Amino acid sequence: MDAIREEELKEIRLFKSVDLESIKGLIDACTVRFLERGEVLINRGEMNRTVYFLLDGHVSIHLDSLQSKPAAILGPGESVAEMSVIDRQPTSAFVVATEATRLLAMDEEILWSLIHSSHAAACNLISNLTARLRHADLIIAEISETGDFQGYSTIDALTGLHNRFWLEQVIERQVQRCTKDGRPMCAIIVDIDYFKTFNERYGHTHGDHVLYSVANTISDNLRPAEIIARGGGDEFVVLLPTVEIEMARRIAERLHKGVMGAVPVMPDGSAIPHPTISIGVAVLQPGQTGKQLLAEAGRALSRAKNSGGNCISE
């Protein structure tokens, strides 16, 4: 690794009050990355397993597009991309060098080794994330004055999953990437059977708990590279970049088994009957867009529904 001065390491917020000598081995295992002005470090919607710490230069953060107004400018001592490493979800912003920039690149294994070995580093990470959340609150407060939340409201309040707006942005990038690399891609749509009838019988409060249960059960049965979003209503979408149809079938079976084995529990501790689910599976065809892939998965879902539900169809 190119030499990094101790003074530079001391400027990094994650290392505040950390005995640098005690983590020298972890630092030596990292790499240094150089960016030219205008070079994109991170594209929104990518899977990422690396945290970057700025040593020299600055990067701009763009939430909507590369052409949008920067939400923040970060300089030496700051870090980027830790959220995507922690929650293993696609990145939520673009990161671009505003000038020649040098960064310390730390992969997720090294990050977690650091957090487990240093109480001070763990506290610093929490502090950094809290600051990011507060900054996000300021952005929301600013755009709320105009009522224009397009491009910012990407989280479904009930389930905590990304929403349809976010999904429509991410799927096209994933399709383009898989097509360019000559890799397969599949999509799964999960829908709760007769959910309207369930709501009418048990009430919307019970229905909301079922939606939350299904969302979390699906998430718990997915691997880091498997992307989930709430498609709307009682529908959930799972994107499977680089996954062949045979593996997609097995994943669908795993999700079906996991959801049907879950027992939603009400706030009073009582359990409620779990409705069944139907699943549609589709594989990306040559020349298809993300929207067309979702439409194909939707048709597969309709076939499952027409067969009586509680099954998987392609």
CATH number at residue 268: 3.30.70.270
Residue 62 lies in a domain: yes
Share of the chain above pLDDT 90, in %: 38
130 and 183 part of one domain: no
Domain ends where: 106, 140, 174?
140
Structural domain of 95: 6-140
Q: What is the pLDDT of residue 151?
A: 46
Task: Report which of residues 94 and 157 the model is more confident about.
Answer: 94
Count of the separate structural domains present in the chain: 2
Q: What is the pLDDT of residue 200?
A: 85
Residue 225 lies in a domain: yes
Q: What is the pLDDT of residue 102?
A: 93
10 and 131 part of one domain: yes
Residue 150 lies in a domain: no
Say whether pLDDT at 101 is over 90: yes
297 and 235 part of one domain: yes
> Which whole number is the average pLDDT over 96-112?
92
Backbone φ and ψ of 190, nearest 5°: -110, 130
Residue 47 lies in a domain: yes
Structure confidence by residue, pLDDT tens digits, 194-221: 998 988 888 887 888 888 889 888 988 8
Structure confidence by residue, pLDDT tens digits, 125-143: 887 776 666 555 554 554 4
52 and 118 part of one domain: yes
249 and 186 part of one domain: yes
CATH of the domain at 71: 2.60.120.10
92 and 210 part of one domain: no
CA-closest candidate to residue 33, choices 128, 98, 97: 97
Q: Which of 64-68, 69-73, 192-196 has the highest mean pLDDT?
A: 192-196
Cα 266 → chain centroid: 28
Residue 159 lies in a domain: no
Distance between CA atoms of residues 267 and 270, nearest Å: 7
128 and 196 part of one domain: no
Q: What is the pLDDT of residue 32?
A: 93
30 and 125 part of one domain: yes
Q: What is the pLDDT of residue 1?
A: 45
268 and 225 part of one domain: yes
CA angle 20, 26, 30 (to 5 degrees): 115
- Of 32-46, 88-102, 144-158, 239-253, least confident by mean pLDDT is 144-158
Q: What is the pLDDT of residue 129?
A: 72
Q: What is the pLDDT of residue 2?
A: 55
Q: What is the pLDDT of residue 312?
A: 96
Q: What is the pLDDT of residue 190?
A: 97
Residue 80 lies in a domain: yes
DSSP 8-state secondary structure symbol assigned to residue 276: P
25 and 72 part of one domain: yes
Residue 295 lies in a domain: yes
> Which whole number is the average pLDDT over 68-94?
83
Domain ends where: 108, 124, 140?
140
Q: What is the pLDDT of residue 135?
A: 53
Residue 76 pLDDT class (50, 70, 90 cuts)? confident
Structure confidence by residue, pLDDT tens digits, 230-276: 998 899 999 999 999 999 999 999 999 999 988 776 656 677 777 89
112 and 12 part of one domain: yes
User: What is the average pLDDT value for the chain, to the nearest integer?
Assistant: 85
Task: Give the strand order in the sheet containing 101-107.
Answer: 31-35, 101-107, 50-56, 79-80
Residue 175 lies in a domain: yes
81 and 24 part of one domain: yes
Structure confidence by residue, pLDDT tens digits, 21-52: 888 889 888 999 999 999 999 998 888 899 99
Task: Give the strand order in the sheet containing 94-97.
Answer: 40-42, 94-97, 59-62, 72-74
